[in-house]
Amino acid sequence: SAAAAAPITFNTALPVSKGHFVIRALAIYDEADSLAGEVRGGEAVSVLGFGATPRLALFASAPFVFKKSDAANGPDRNASGLGDVRLFARYTVLQADAPGGAFRLSPFAGLELPTGETGKADALGPVPAALQPGSGSLDYFAGVIATYATLDWSLDGQVSWQVNRENGAFNPGAVFQADAAFYRRLLPAALQADTRGFLSGGVEINYSDARRAHIGGAVDPDSGGAQLLISPGLQYARPRWIAEAAIQIPAWRDANGAAMRKDIIVRTGIRMNF
């Protein structure tokens, strides 16, 4: 539905029309901390989606990444550059339409390509792997999304699993993610024949559980863990574009050892379809 909002922190199961494109531009700022210090970063992400068939949509995303560490004991380090490109396909396996409402169930799968830079260095030498824009490994992910949208509100849910492969001696842990989002139209209070814009507000919940990493075959005790983020969001939708913003706030964090824990993530973006 044109009045239905889409999740800001994850994907939606609503289709991309056959032969049409969707472009999304995202600006993301995040802060994380550990016993060793703080890491701040930003991403400018470009996403292109294409409706190959009424049920099959193809997507590509490319981020430009900046990361800076403020060490508790030691010099500050930073790095920036192209991150890892993600390619994935989403296919609608179940659809049910009724007056005023639509349901879609869509599995997806894809690859994260090692296009990001991994050799960044400063006056002290190579920067740590956690600050490099790229992972240096070919990773893969899969999941399923369900969406139910009406003229007044929408409900989305997603579960996914990403396998992060080894790069040299470093092997990051796999990540399980579960997300949910509920949005409701705030303005206008009632739809009219000449209504062209919609303001929607809602909340998203993001749970993730990362396995411990391995270095040289040994478990890194300061890696992995689980967290739960609460993400209030706003969207303004017109027939051809959507402007959006969300703030992800940690409600619960269970990091292993001195592993990084998210403090806040701010997302703003715009989507256009043609």
Query: Which amino acid makes up residue 113?
Result: L
| Domain of residue 53, residue span | 21-273
Looking at residue 3, its pLDDT comes to: 54
pLDDT number for residue 170:
81
Whether a cis peptide bond, with omega within 30° of 0, leads into 7 is: no
- List the structure tokens of 154: 């929408």
CA distance 243 to 235: 6
Number of domains into which the chain is organized: 1
Q: Are strands 261-273 and 21-34 parallel, antiparallel or unpaired?
A: antiparallel
The two three-digit tokens of residue 100, written as one number: 């005023």
162 in any annotated domain: yes
Domain with residue 223: its CATH number is 2.40.128.130
DSSP SS3 for 72? coil
Q: CB under 8 Å, gap of 24 or more: what pairs does 89-97 form?
A: 89/56, 89/57, 89/58, 89/59, 90/11, 90/13, 90/56, 90/57, 90/59, 90/145, 91/55, 91/56, 91/57, 92/13, 92/15, 92/54, 92/55, 92/56, 93/55, 95/55
How high is the mean pLDDT in each 10-residue block of the chain (274 residues)? 79 96 98 87 98 98 96 87 98 94 98 95 89 94 98 97 89 95 94 86 98 88 93 95 98 89 96 94
Any domain includes 16: no
Give the model's pLDDT for residue 107.
99
Of 242, 233, 238, 231, residue with least CA distance to 269: 242
pTM: 0.92
DSSP state of 127: P
* Residue 155 belongs to some domain of the structure: yes
* Dihedral sign of CA atoms 19, 83, 105, 24 in order: negative
How many helices and strands in the chain, by DSSP H and E? 0, 19
For residue 97, is it within any domain? Answer: yes
